[in-house]
Amino acid sequence: MVYRTGSELRAAARSGAFTEHTSGRAPGYVQANLVVLPRDWAYDFLVFAQRNPKPCPVLEVGEAGDPCTSVLADDGDVRTDIPLYRVYEHGELVEEIPEITSRWRDDLVFFLLGCSFTFERALLDAGLALRHQDENRNVPMYRTNIICRGAGRFLSSPMVVSMRPYLPRDAIRAVEITREFPGVHGSPVHIGDPEHIGISRIDRPDWGDSVSIRSGEMPVFWACGITPQLAALVSKPPLMITHAPGYMFAGDRSDYAFHLSG
C-alpha cells in the first residue's frame, strides 16, 4: 500500500489498517524516528543527540506530557500514528505494540529524529534505484563498531547504519545528493568493505531485511536513527519507547524541505 500523503499514512497506522514498514509508502513526505523518554532523562538524550548528530538529527521535541506534533505534522499523535512501537524497560526490549496510548504518561517527552527514508525520493529522482524497495523489503540495518559519544547517563554505544548497494559511479552520486540533506543523516558514514565498520555478515542485517548486492556494486552505509535504541540497551533508562526499525512516523512536510536549500 502506498499513501498519497503522510497524513493518510498516519491515519491508516492510527486505525490499524496499515501495519507494515514505511519505506516508499508516503512518497514525497518526511519520515522520522521516534524516541520517547521520561522528562528526567530528556536532557541527557538531547546532549547525546548533539554529540552524535549524524545518527541523531533532532527535528522536533515535544513538551512533557504532550504527544501531539506541531513541527513535522500539524495534527500528529506519536502514541498512535506509527505502525509499530518498541518498549524498552531498564535496557530490555519488553514488547512490540501497535500503539502506546496506555503507556503514555504526563512526564514523557517525545523526540522525532531525521530518517534516511526522507532522502530516498531524491535518490530515485536522480535515477538511483533503491534495492530494498525493488525487492519489496525493509531497508537492511546493522550494528557497527563506530562508537557514539556518551552524554550523562546516555552511555557511549555503537552507531547503527542503514545500507543501500550501488555501483561506484552511483555511490558517488548518492554521496553528492545525500550531503544536501544533513537533517536526515546527510552523507554516508562508510562506503565499501563492511568489515571495516565491524559488520561481518552483510547478508544478515541486525534489523530490517537482507537485500541482494549485485556484481560490481558496493554497499553504501548511512547513519541510522535506530542508534538510540542501542544506547538504551546499555544506558538502561527506566522507560524508553521508540518506533520499530523501518516503521516510521510520516509527516506533513515535503521531503525536499529537508534539503539544505529547503
Q: Where does this chain bind a copy of itself (CB under 8 A)?
A: 42-43, 46-47, 50-51, 58, 61, 63, 71, 151-152, 179, 182, 260-261
Question: What is the DSSP-derived secondary structure letter of residue 11?
Answer: H
Least distance CB 163 / a copy of itself (angstroms): 22
Comparing CB distances to a copy of itself, the nearer of 64 and 93 is: 64
Nearest-approach distance from CB 212 to a copy of itself, in angstroms: 31
Shortest Å, Cβ 72 to a copy of itself: 12
CB of 43 to a copy of itself, least distance (A): 4
Pick between residue 12 and residue 122 the one whose CB is nearest to a copy of itself.
Answer: 122
Question: Which residue type is seen at 102?
Answer: S
Q: Which is nearer to a copy of itself, 103 or 259 (CB)?
A: 259
For residue 3, which of 244, 99, 74, 18 has the smallest C-alpha distance?
18
CB of 143 to a copy of itself, least distance (A): 25
When the beta carbons of 12 and 32 are compared against a copy of itself, the nearer one is: 32
| Residue 111: C-alpha distances to residues 10, 32, 43 (Å) | 17, 9, 11
Q: Is the dihedral of CA 256, 225, 23, 9 positive or negative?
A: negative
In sequence order, the 6+-apart residues with CB closer than 8 A to the CB of 23 are 117, 120, 130, 132, 133, 138, 139, 246
CB 61, min distance to a copy of itself, A: 5
Measured between alpha carbons, how far is 257 from 183 in angstroms, rounded to an integer?
10
CA distance 51 to 55: 10
Q: Are 4 and 23 in contact (CB under 8 A)?
A: no
Half-sphere CA count of 91, side-chain side, radius 13 A: 9
Among 188, 179, 198, smallest CA distance to 219 is for 188
Closer residue to a copy of itself (CB): 12 or 34: 34
Least CB distance to a copy of itself at residue 149 (A): 9
Residue closer to a copy of itself, measured from CB, 150 or 246: 150
Q: Of the two residues 140 and 251, which places its CB atom closer to a copy of itself in the complex?
A: 251
Alpha-carbon distance of 158 to 229, in angstroms, equals 10
